[in-house]
Structures are given as structure tokens and as C-alpha cells.
Copies of this chain bind each other. A is one copy, B any other.
Amino acid sequence: MTIEVDYRFPPGIDAEKQAKVIAIGQTAGTWDARFAHREQALRSHLGEVVKGLTQPDGSSIVTIRFPEANVENDVSSLLTMIFGKYSMAGPAKVIAVRLPEHYGRRPQVGMSGIRERLGVFDRPLIMAIFKPALGLSADDHAATLQEVSSAGLDIIKDDEILGDLQGVPTLKRLEACRQVLDEVKQQTGRTVLYAVNVTGAADKLIEKARLLVRQGANALLLNVLTYGFSVLDALAADPEIKVPIFAHPAFAGALCGSPDYGMAYSVVLGTLMAHCGADAVLYPAHYGSLPFDPAEEARIRDNLRSRNVFPVPSAGIHPGIVPQALADYGQEVILNAGTGIMDHPDGPAAGVQAFFEALDWLKQGESWEAEKLPVGPLRRALEKWGKLK
């Protein structure tokens, strides 16, 4: 089996030459007569230029095929090979990576497993984020969790900025929130997932993740790009960590934002996450508050789903976008709202209710306008945030 990578070069770059530089320079390199006796082994590691294509705008796309024997069946060694030293060679962007089905790992829980744990199979899942991000106590978190859980929320997560800080250590937050989750379970039979942000130096982070799970964490949040794909890899494979891992895209723009450098969002947040064991992946929605290309978003969605990973469009999500989100995603999606739930004029519980109200209206096939809705959470939300056209 082989690995295929598409590189895009801006106009004016000799793509054919660069393709050869990659195929040779990112694999075995060159050799001379001294290594004639290793000719066969050396050749077996070389990359191969599959094709080149000049685009109407003068940019070029070349496809390189790499031997799977060069890498270690993980994302970190893959990145070193396909874009390690070469990333520093001038403008070039990795726009697609095609991996063998078996490459890397699949989620331990995934879309199907998350639905099973929640017992919800017939609608998008609704997810919230604790806000404000910093400065609250563990009890504040628990109080908020109480509100949104009672309103029917499926999943909540720490803000990605909230680490293991003095004043509100991760274990304390879990302890306070775990009590609420247990009460909800007892009183309603419902499971609510709380994705706890796990942080620290790699060894400590992995130990902490195990400890959190032992202490009752039923989901984890990982800033994969600031901690490393090798950390996701380790957590996803860990026999003690059987809870879903939510991958956060923090720092992705540093890798993916430029048109001419780095890697496409659909590669980093789609393909690579889906081959590294993430159970759900957050990424900017194109109708959200961050600028994002709808086609790229669709590719992320499809890359994730193809391996049973839950797509979680995020940023600027509020009840008004639900009709559009359902049109774009159907049921197999987690709608993740931060301020779109927490800053509802009538409080977080009303924020959650507004989402469910929107889902109910749509289920009944009704289209709605703010002014025609009955007074209530959804109408209040639309009055604040409007409805996506």
C-alpha cells in the first residue's frame, strides 16, 4: 500500500522540479557507488511523482506517492516525511493526503459509540462550552452544568484555554461537575458528556487523562495541535482511556490559514485527525464567526465521517443557524455553541432550549421566522442573533 500526497505550488514555481526534490529529498535521498550494494533497499524507499497538473490560475498540483515502509503507521512520522524539511523550501501547500484504510488508528468510541453512550440516535447532538473561559470556580462550572443539563444538553466541554490552573484545577472541576452528572443520571436516566480539557507535558498529560477517567471523566478534550499528534495517538490507544476524545482545532490556522504554505484544513482537521484516533473533531463552521471556506468544511465533514468520527462545526453557532446546519449536515453532527448557548438573554438553560425548539420546529417541517414564533427561548435567541439566510 502507498501514501499519496497532493502539493500545490503558486504560479511561477517549477513544480516538476519541486516534485522530484520531494520524491527524493523527503525519502532516501541520493547515493553514490559506495552504496551500490544497497541499491535495491535504497530504491524501495524512494518516492514517486505520480502526476502534475497546471491549474487555470497558473498554480500547479503534483501528486507524490510515498512507500508506507518509510513511516511508522502514525501521523507524526507521516508529517516528518511528507512535509518535514521540505516545508522550509519555499511556497508549497499540502492540499490532500490519501492514506491506506488501515493507516494509523480509528476512534475507540466514534460517532456510533458517542450516540450509544448518550442514547440519542435520531437528531443532531447539542454541545456547549463553559464560558467565561477563565476566572470561574469549580462551583461556578457545576452551577452552569446544572442549568444546561436540566434543559437537555448532550455534551459540554471546557474552553480550550482553560487548563490545569491554580484556583480551578482540572480535578476539582471534574469533581464538582461529576456530582451534577450523577444527579442528572439518577433523576432522568440521561447521560451528559463533559469533555475535560487535558493538558501538561506529554507524560504527565497521559497520566492525568488516566486519572481523570478513573475519577469519572466520561470524555476528554485535547488541543491536538499545541500538544502534538503523538499525544492524541497515545491517548487513543490507551487501554485505560475508553472515553471519547474531542479534538480541538486550536492553532490550526497557524498551519492551514495561508493559501500558499502549510496544509489544508481538510487534511489537518479531517484526514489526520481521522487517522489518529479522535472520536469527534471541532472545526470552524463557515457560517460561524471565523472566516471559512464551505467546500473545505464539507471535506472535513466527509473525511471525518468516513472513519466514524463525529464532525463538530463550531464558532459562532447559535439557534438561528440550525436550519442551515441541518441542510448541510443532516442528523450526523454535533452542534457546538459557546456564547450561542451561554449568552442567551434568558440564560444558558434557555440557550439549550432554543436549540431543541429549533430542532422540533424543523422536525415538523415548519419554516420559521422570529416574528411568527411563540414567545420563548427560540424567539428570544433569534431576536438576539438573527436567523441565517
Contact = CB atoms under 8 A, between A and B. Distances in A.
A164 interface: yes
A296 to B, nearest CB: 12
Contacts of A74: 200-201
A167 B234 contact: no
A83 interface: yes
B230 A80 contact: no
B77 A226 contact: yes
A290 interface: yes
A2 to B, nearest CB: 15
A260 B248 CA distance: 23
A134 interface: yes
Contact of A140 (B38, B91, B204): B38
A152 B389 CA distance: 71
Contacts of A135: 28, 35, 38, 41-45
Interface stretch (A250-258, A324-332, A365-373, A379-387): A250-258
A132 B233 CA distance: 29
Interface in A23-72: 26-32, 34-35, 38, 41-45, 69-72
A357 B199 CA distance: 50
A354 interface: no
A161 B27 contact: yes
Given A161-B81, A230-B201, A230-B231, A29 B133 contact: yes
Contacts of A136: 35, 38, 41-42
Contact of A254 (B38, B83, B134, B206): B83
A315 interface: yes
A342 B347 CA distance: 67
A263 interface: yes
A132 B86 contact: no
A254 B161 contact: no
A72 B165 contact: yes
A83 B202 CA distance: 20
Given A133-B28, A133-B29, A134-B27, A164 B45 contact: no
Contacts of A244: none
Given A74-B200, A74-B201, A202-B234, A223 B84 contact: yes
A87 interface: yes
Interface string A243-284: 000001111111111101111000000000000000000001
A248 to B, nearest CB: 8
Contacts of A26: 161
B255 A262 contact: yes
A137 B199 CA distance: 39
A228 interface: yes
A23 B132 CA distance: 14
Contact of A257 (B81, B206, B256, B262): B262
The 4 closest A-B pairs by CB, nearest first: A228-B228, A87-B253, A84-B250, A258-B258
Interface of A: 26-32, 34-35, 38, 41-45, 69-72, 74-77, 79-81, 83-91, 94, 131-137, 140, 159-161, 163-167, 199-206, 223, 226-231, 233-234, 237-238, 248-258, 260-263, 284, 290-292, 315, 339, 343, 347
28 contacts: A27-B133, A28-B133, A29-B133, A29-B159, A32-B343, A38-B137, A45-B134, A69-B165, A69-B166, A77-B199, A80-B160, A80-B226, A83-B254, A84-B161, A84-B223, A84-B248, A85-B250, A87-B251, A88-B290, A201-B234, A202-B203, A202-B205, A202-B234, A203-B203, A226-B228, A226-B230, A257-B258, A258-B262
